[in-house]
Amino acid sequence: MSTTYEYKGDYINGEFIRPSRKDGEWSNVSPGDLKDRVVSIDWGYESIDSAVLSACSAFVKWRRLSFDQRKEYLFKLKEVYTEHKEELAEAISRETGKPLWEARTEAGGMIGKIDITLNHSMKLVAEQRIENALPNVDGVIHYKPRGVMAVIGPFNFPGHLPNGHIIPALALGNTIVFKPSEKTPYVGQLMAQLFHKAGFPKGVFNLLQGQGETGKRLVAHEKVDGVLFTGSYDVGLRIKQETIQHYWKLLALEMGGKNTCIVWDDADLEKAVYENIAGSFLTSGQRCSCTSKIVLHKSIADKFIENFHQTAKKLKIGHWKQDDVFMGPLISEGSVDNYLRFQEIAKREGAENIMRGKVLELNPGGHYVTPSIHRVAKNDPQSIYQKSEIFGPNVCIYTVDDFDEAIEVANTSGFGLVTSVFTKDQSLYEKAWLEARVGLLNWNRTTNGASSRMPFGGMGKSGNDRPSAHFAVQYCSVPVSSLEDQTTFNPESVFPGVDYEFK
């Protein structure tokens, strides 16, 4: 049994501090082994103001550094992340229950993000000179930081996703107050320790521990200039409501998904089945980009379903330390209840149950469930089962023979993150590109897994048109236009009606 991690408190102005007045406490157990107490945390709301003020005063100096100077700090962080990669991966696995091989990929993504941001994405915000922007006057577009960025992280990628906002924000000269999910506080603490080790100036990176209320108070703080949020649609909407009067505040909201994969009659079926297994059940379905709906052309449906079902039945589920495990547990008891509730809702609404989702008793005991597969007779925009993000290993199958109908299924839920199309016919892919209301459209590959070298964001209930990943540098900065006029005064340019005589 692993030992409980030492809790250090919030990280403010370069130091870990415990609140003098406690407003709450919480003990976190590993979802993969309910006897494994990971960390016990406590918090006080007074720290919110201190963390924001620390980030405000650090901003004054941090933004004045040249890009090359900030780059040095970030490359040092890359070194420190690399040294501690295994520790990061273990903390991610222990807190989320995801298999270690998967957490290692996440820790690798955190390291990779630094090079990608500095060497690739920053080109999007490179200074641009525009000759003769006005007659005989040159223009310059340059990008400056916004100020204090509140980063609110989800539990499912507790390192990679907040890091994906933090690195570009820092590269541009912003400072950070990061609040991790209450379900993954130790990953947040470890990140703060690594920033400390990398020697960042005091106050540039701050950490606040707590639950939803801490996040709510942080985003509503008057001195926060931007909120970089990854989480559910409901919380994203609340953040928008809570900041409605803060006209100056940038909101980048990366929210939920209800993603569709269309498999057409000419598809490589062997590949499509495998990719859909990964799409539907990786991370136990707890990815915003997981596949929730598979739309099959009628002519290949039986063969697809048979292979898909047989493979799903054999998926290995277990503790994160086991080598050959594909799926870990769900994150919490609440998530298991929610998953089982949707099994009931699907049944009540008349969905055919191809594979039943149930609780799995394993040793050690955790929040384990089996994957589930349903089939519905038709697309129903009113169906609670068909339109809700379940965030568990469930997938719903539709069969159609008309591509317009397939697109209609993809566009029904109101979420708009990813759609995938398996076909050899480029014109169908192009049609989907035009008609599917999504921020990511994949061709012959699963809905999940994305490149940090490309934008990542959704339409509708999945986002607010501020795509992250490669494009994060854009919302972390303000483009400033300058007209640079080096000409001497020209009397010919005086406006009619102005009697101008300089003495």
Cα Rg, the chain, nearest whole Å: 25
Q: Is residue 100 near ligand NAP by the rule CB under 6 A?
A: no
Are residues 487 and 137 in contact, defined by beta-carbon separation less than 8 angstroms? Answer: yes
Long-range contacts of 477-480 (CB under 8 A, 24+ apart): 477/125, 477/143, 477/144, 477/145, 477/146, 477/172, 478/143, 478/144, 478/145, 478/146, 479/125, 479/141, 479/142, 479/143, 480/141, 480/142, 480/143, 480/144
Name residue, tokens 């996703």.
161
Q: Is residue 153 near ligand NAP by the rule CB under 6 A?
A: yes
Q: Is residue 436 near ligand NAP by the rule CB under 6 A?
A: no
Indicate the residue among 399 and 419 with the shorter CB distance to ligand NAP: 419
Q: How far apart are CA 169 and CA 498, in angstroms?
A: 47
Q: How far apart are CA 148 and CA 160, in angstroms?
A: 20
254 labelled catalytic: yes
By three-state DSSP, how is residue 291 classified? strand
Q: How far apart are CA 503 and CA 313, in angstroms?
A: 91
Tell me the window of 175-183, 193-201, 273-281, 485-493 that interacts with ligand NAP (CB under 6 A). Answer: 175-183
Q: How far apart are CA 43 and CA 7, in angstroms?
A: 11
Q: Is residue 181 near ligand NAP by the rule CB under 6 A?
A: yes
Q: Is residue 188 near ligand NAP by the rule CB under 6 A?
A: no
Indicate the residue among 228 and 397 with the shorter CB distance to ligand NAP: 228
Give the DSSP letter of residue 4.
P
Q: Which two tokens stand for residue 44?
A: 């006080």
Provide, rounded to whole angstroms, the least separation between the CB of residue 66 and ligand NAP: 31
User: What residues does 29 pair with on adjacent strands?
Assistant: 37
**Residues 253-312 contacting ligand NAP, CB under 6 A:** 254-257, 288
Tell me the window of 181-189, 266-274, 365-373, 394-402 that interacts with ligand NAP (CB under 6 A). Answer: 181-189
CA-to-CA dists, residue 403 to 264, 370, 406, angstroms: 8, 32, 5
Q: Could you say which of 95, 182, 275, 288 is catalytic?
A: 288
Q: Is residue 171 near ligand NAP by the rule CB under 6 A?
A: no
**Residues 190-219 contacting ligand NAP, CB under 6 A:** 211-212, 215-216, 219
Please tell me the count of residues contacting ligand NAP according to CB under 6 A: 31
288 labelled catalytic: yes
Q: Could you say which of 254, 261, 275, 396 is catalytic?
A: 254
Provide, rounded to whole angstroms, the least separation between the CB of residue 488 and ligand NAP: 53
Q: Is residue 156 near ligand NAP by the rule CB under 6 A?
A: yes
Position with the least CB separation from ligand NAP: 215
Among 80, 100, 161, 172, binds ligand NAP (CB under 6 A): 161
Provide, rounded to whole angstroms, the least separation between the CB of residue 117 and ligand NAP: 17
What amino acid positions are annotated as catalytic residues? 254, 288
